[in-house]
Structure 1
């Protein structure tokens, strides 16, 4: 029988640790992103040729260290390992210096989060993100920098953390250092901290202010009163992340005419939850690709607790208890009033069971 973890009191400490850790990691990654963008240089290449920076490693070390200090029996599904750090002269020292700088800046949180003081401790902590996931126990899903390309160009990225208990996402926290407080004011303040607890709702506050109790944060909701004629779609900036051909056909069939909102990473989930848009489609570019749980766990609970819906492209709920991937195809997040018709349109185009999906991949 699954254990019962649903009350607010059960997750009070988990939420505080997650918020403080995500905030500390967001402050660090924001500074590194600004430095990289100013120099117009990229990151280091991992063996899979995807870009990675000291920010990914530093943020993963900070967050995992914070979790395991407080919940030493928990597991973490993280994106990175320390192999590249150990193989690259000087990289470990660079990462440690950035971590120590943010620890000094954020001293008041160290009683809760702890501190890292050596390259070996940084590497060993990063490697504790090696959980295989699954449907039993307490497992945290961490994306230390979601939206690496946005991070590298000084645009949108996010630090994303979620707690999965017995296969179900129970809380999520997302830090968005570059997200405008008001999208209609491009010169306005930036930075959002988004939090959700299952059964308690979704909340928002400025990332760079002191973390407040949930009751003092802004409760956020999707807009469930908007029609397709008025609805905005959140689209990824990177063309390789979603089938834009299929997306265009879906929008045409549903008579969606509003200009799309282009954002990197799980920032799209945050924009939906805050009411900046009503639809997010992540449509397969490869019929065999399976989404990683760290790319969607925090966003999933944020949307559902903001009174929205998240599913795969066939309308099935996402299963975060099958390992490090979702083992399903695509993502559809939207307001409750629009979701069923979106799924109906997708099936009309690709077939009830995706018989025509390959055409658009």
Structure 2
């Protein structure tokens, strides 16, 4: 039996149930969007998904900690929004699965408390911490495009398990595209336990479907076979330097354009892509751990390697952000050193870029 087998089953079922909730919302024109303090869009789906995920995990693993993107502060200020979230949470069920291990919040106050277990969570190196992004890619979710529901288990700050639900991902994704969505099924779910490979299964509205091992493929890519995944609408990255990196490598840029950070890891794993680079504009910019934990593990389990642009291991044990790391290089293990060298050369040639 694999380690963390119970954790994997509960996590997959919890993500699958949350996927039902988000898919139901896709048919609603007004998804309850509002603006958070950081001006990113958030919907009732973010709050409701976080409540459902933490409710299932906290029941089964009551000593574990949580780090989630959302807090319940806005819900307490907006009674109408709170009512909509509560209705979604209590009315979302798996069709034919035994939900005794996936309880719902017992009351409205309990729901707020569960959401805040994630929002107030600080992470760190002690014990076990579940990291979750209820909807990664909220902007594309609102448009009915690709988005992800992310869960990762950290043990003493290290990734041990990752689950990514992709409700709009077709059963045979090929090259992943924002607008090519699953209209016949319920999307796909990727998962991995450290050292035990990465798997994919179709999502359902009930019990888990069988999982298929994803063959290791990212450790034997040739330079001429580099395929990039990028986000060309980001304001935090230096896209001109990204282009320069791939021009030097002879690779087409921008390649597959995806908004969601987690969907990029999905593309690296099964979507025909194999390299993603992030050169950030400011040293003060630090990525949130829920945008990367779990996704990196899944990519590594098919032969990928992930470091920052200094070649440092990604440290998820320092709180809610990857505060010890600067930028990102995700690449096939056999090409990572070569690509990292080019990234560092491109940065060094730019006088306005201060080496981190």
Q: How does 1:1-361 map to 2 (within 5 A)?
A: 9-36=2-29, 43-103=33-93, 105-106=94-95, 108-129=97-118, 130-184=120-174, 186=180, 191-208=187-204, 210-212=207-209, 216-236=211-231, 238-257=233-252, 260-265=255-260, 266-274=262-270, 276-327=272-323, 328-351=325-348, 357-358=353-354
Distance 2:232 2:215 in 1: 24
For the 8 Å contact 1:133–1:322, the answer to whether it is kept is yes
TM-score by length of 2: 0.90
Aligned length: 346
Long gaps (5+) in structure 2: none
For the 8 Å contact 1:134–1:321, the answer to whether it is kept is yes
Change (3 A) 1:248 1:237: closer
SS in 2 for 1:10: coil
| 1:4 alignment counterpart | none
Change (3 A) 1:68 1:187: closer
Q: Which runs of 4+ in 1 moved over 4 A?
A: 184-190
TM-score by length of 1: 0.89
Distance 2:155 2:351 in 1: 34
Could you tell me how far 1:230 is from its partner in structure 2? 2.4
Could you tell me how far 1:356 is from its partner in structure 2? 5.0
Distance 1:349 1:241 in 2: 17
Distance 1:29 1:255 in 2: 40
Structure with more helix by fraction:
1
Distance 1:339 1:309 in 2: 7
Change (3 A) 1:199 1:64: same
